[in-house]
Amino acid sequence: METTVIVSPSFAKVESVKKAVQIVNQAQGSFKLKLSLEDWVDESIGSKRSLDVLRVSRSAKGTTAKEPVIIVTGRPLKDGYFANEHRNCFLISTDVEETTYPTRPLHLYIAYNVSNCLPLFTLPVAQRLKLQDEVVHEDKPIGCFNDYCQTIRDIWTSMLNVHICPACEADFEAAGLAAVYMDSTSKILERIRKLVRAYDKAKRPDLFICHSFQDRRFSEKLAIDIREAGYKSWFAEFEMKIGDSLNDKIGSAIRRSGLFAVVLSPESVKSPWCQRELKKALDRELYQKNVFVLPILYKKCKIPDYLEEKLRVDMGGRRYGEGLAMIIERLRDMEEAK
**Rounded to 5°, angle at Cα 323 from 249 and 190:** 70
Taking 70 as the threshold, does the pLDDT of residue 136 lie above it? no
What is the greatest pairwise CA distance in the chain? 71
In terms of residue numbers, what domain contains 267?
A: 207-336
DSSP secondary structure letter of residue 51: B
Q: Are residues 37 and 177 in the same domain?
A: yes
Where is the domain boundary, 197, 231, 255?
197
69 and 167 share one domain: yes
Kindly give the pairing relationship between strand 207-210 and strand 233-234.
parallel
CATH code of the domain containing 24? 3.40.390.10
| Higher pLDDT among residues 49 and 30, named by residue | 30
pLDDT tier at 241, thresholds 50, 70, 90: confident
Residues 35 and 13 in one domain: yes
| 139 and 161 assigned to the same domain | yes
Q: Which amino acid is at 137?
A: H
Q: Tell me: do 193 and 212 sit in the same domain.
A: no
Q: In terms of domains, do 193 and 228 share one?
A: no
Considering the domain architecture, whether residues 231 and 137 belong to the same structural domain is answered as: no
Query: What's the total number of domains in the chain?
Result: 2
- Are 235 and 321 found together in one domain? yes
Does pLDDT of 2 surpass 70?
A: yes
Query: What's the rounded mean pLDDT across residues 214-230?
Result: 95
**pLDDT digits over 255-290, tens only?**
999 999 999 999 999 999 999 999 999 999 988 888
Per residue in 180-190, pLDDT tens? 999 999 999 99
Same domain, 249 and 121: no
Q: What average pLDDT does the segment 310-331 reach?
A: 93
Given the DSSP bridges, would you call strands 207-210 and 83-86 parallel, antiparallel or unpaired? Answer: unpaired
Question: What is the CATH number for 308?
Answer: 3.40.50.10140
Which of 197, 229, 245 is where one domain is finished? 197
User: Based on the domain organization, do 61 and 132 belong to the same domain?
Assistant: yes
* pLDDT at residue 209, rounded to an integer: 97
The predicted structure's pLDDT at residue 327: 96
Rounded to a whole number of angstroms, the CA Rg of the chain reads 23
pLDDT (tens digit, 9 = 90+) per residue, 85-106? 888 999 999 999 988 888 789 9
Q: Does 63 share its domain with 188? A: yes
> Tell me, what's the pLDDT at 79?
86
Average pLDDT, stretch 195-218?
93
Amino acid at 156: W
Last residue of a domain, one of 169, 197, 225: 197
* Mean pLDDT confidence for 121-128: 85
Q: Is residue 74 domain-shared with residue 168, that is, in the same domain?
A: yes
pLDDT tens per residue, range 32-70:
999 999 999 988 876 778 999 999 999 999 999 889 999
pLDDT at residue 125, rounded to an integer: 80
Please report the pLDDT score of residue 246 as a whole number: 78
- Which pLDDT band, with edges at 50, 70 and 90, does 239 fall under? confident
Nearest to 150 by CA among 72, 73, 79, 98: 79
Residue 245 falls inside a structural domain: yes
3-state secondary structure 255-289: HHCCEEEEEECCCHHHCHHHHHHHHHHHHHHHHHC
Question: If DSSP codes are grouped into helix, strand and coil, which group holds residue 38?
Answer: coil
Query: 214 by DSSP, 3-state: which?
Result: helix
135: confidence class by pLDDT, cuts 50, 70, 90: low
pLDDT of residue 140: 83
Please determine, for residue 139, whether its predicted confidence score (pLDDT) is greater than 80: no
Q: Is residue 202 part of a domain?
A: no
Highest mean pLDDT among 112-116, 236-240, 332-336: 112-116
